[in-house]
Structure 1
């Protein structure tokens, strides 16, 4: 039997035993070596927190007072899966600018303890998982915790919001729907109670967040996706059109592997260029992404979007006049 089956069998033997079970008997029952029995007992006790007591001479059994409260977890992970989980924890902690490090510390400690059970205490060099945040915004940790709690606990939320586009400060009361992590930054998707509509709020622009009386109104997932994820990027609203962008053969090697939108359409042209089509609503973010590729990108359609990009380029060029 494999290790998973052995652990379950070992748990059942110790749970049913009225007196200590010898190592020799466990070898026979599990069909494994003496060393394997000791390793499995150590894993059951140290990693899965089973109330194992005893030793190799007298035998092993469960502590009677603790045995009734202990349940074998329905799932545990192998070393490779634990390594992946530890790497993911590092990614989340570091990509959040350290904001979530304290909250995730128990998870990291638990994962490291499970890894120790696999490796006999070998240290895992987590510093070899490197995360370099890109254009991450400063965010108030307390505001994030309150917003996250309101989403998970389904509670109404009130806060001051200063829109980045206008710098106007408004007081909002919302029914939180979900948290969205997009391009290294966090957003709150919510039903705005006063405006009676779905809105997205950048959490770094939220201040004075507090719970208010009443449960959050639930909006159907399909409606959320239709309003907030139907168009390009984080900007909400139903798609107003499709943009066709063509990239040079050099840029095509990158763009062909990039995910711009869930409904994007892409194809290589005979001359090596790459043509990408994406739906969009507010063109601002789409234009920023196209400008990122400079002369290697060209908006073909629609004409209005092409003219907007031309105006952006002319305005930028005016900053580099001879004067």
Structure 2
């Protein structure tokens, strides 16, 4: 059976090398994993780059075998406060629901590793962890990918092998999923949600897809060439969060009251600059390639945030606020209208 993704393959590869005791070759490892020798060589090279000491031994017949250094893991040492802090910050500290990858191989492996750290500190300290637990809280705004492990596997395999991947995707505006091929370039995380960045064969442009909205994903046998000049960090330079565009624009917002202090405390983009505004306000400027996401951010401040430029974004926010006022006014008028109708009906009966 083929172990197709790094997420599944690397732990198994390390286990095979460790248990093999120096007798494993590229060929035997490839056979055990159900992948090509080329894939195994690339995996070993990648693991070494991460600092994992996989040792290579050349036998008399020229055959190369691999083993793990016996004390490789033992060389990692934590001070007590480092280990203690890791446990307090670990995923799932406030419960399983706060672990974004609970139920997946990544989540299970991290929980196992943190459990080993906990045991190393000693059972006598368990009481102090229980005492501190109510003092800490982690926001529950995160995705749950336990039911989408197959989708994530397919996407990561498509990225690793540079193969087109067929997805069934339901966008925020559609009622039914649409199936088409994409060339996945990489994964991004924002507020606990996973996104895929790549080229859409259907739209003929680079797009971002939210994993939560993928109903299925399947790697095809069609290879693609990843652009040599593409990088995720460069791609997201002009994004407020994960949505990018093609036309950079300067967005200037005036924050008033407590919102001004909040805006000064938290940068929303690497290009952010701040200048004092009239009456104690704060003018914040950012350079973005899309204003879709920042519009929702601005609306969350209500009257405390005003768009100064561009005019197009100012008009969009104005329309949103006017529609909200109309909707609220309509809802408030409904009870009185209903009461008036009831009075009229009673009068006609008399």
**CA–CA separation in structure 2 for the residues paired with 1:95 and 1:268:** 39
Q: How many correspondences in the alignment?
A: 256
Aligned to 1:317: 325
**CA–CA separation in structure 1 for the residues paired with 2:117 and 2:309:** 54
TM-score by length of 1: 0.67
1:277/1:168 Cα in 2 relative to 1: closer, same or farther (>3 Å)? farther
Aligned to 1:303: 311
2:99 and 2:107 in contact (8 A); partners too: no
1:225 deviates by 4.0
2:102 and 2:108 in contact (8 A); partners too: no
Correspondence 1:108-187 to 2 at 5 A: 108-119=111-122, 122-123=125-126, 124-125=129-130, 127-128=133-134, 129-134=136-141, 136=142, 140-142=147-149, 143-152=151-160, 154-167=162-175, 169-187=177-195
Instruction: Mark the runs of 5 or more structure 1 residues left unpaired by the alignment.
Output: 1-66
Deviations 1:232-253 (A, max 9, x none): 2221223431111011132112
Aligned to 2:82: 81
Report the secondary structure of 1:71's partner residue.
coil
**CA–CA separation in structure 2 for the residues paired with 1:247 and 1:148:** 41
Report the secondary structure of 1:307's partner residue.
helix
1:264 and 1:279 in contact (8 A); partners too: yes
Aligned to 1:71: 71
Correspondence 1:159-308 to 2 at 5 A: 159-167=167-175, 169-215=177-223, 217-220=225-228, 222-269=230-277, 271-308=279-316
Report the secondary structure of 2:212's partner residue.
helix
1:137 deviates by 5.5
Instruction: Mark the runs of 5 or more structure 2 residues left unpaired by the alignment.
Output: 1-66, 335-350
1:116 and 1:122 in contact (8 A); partners too: no
Aligned to 1:90: 91
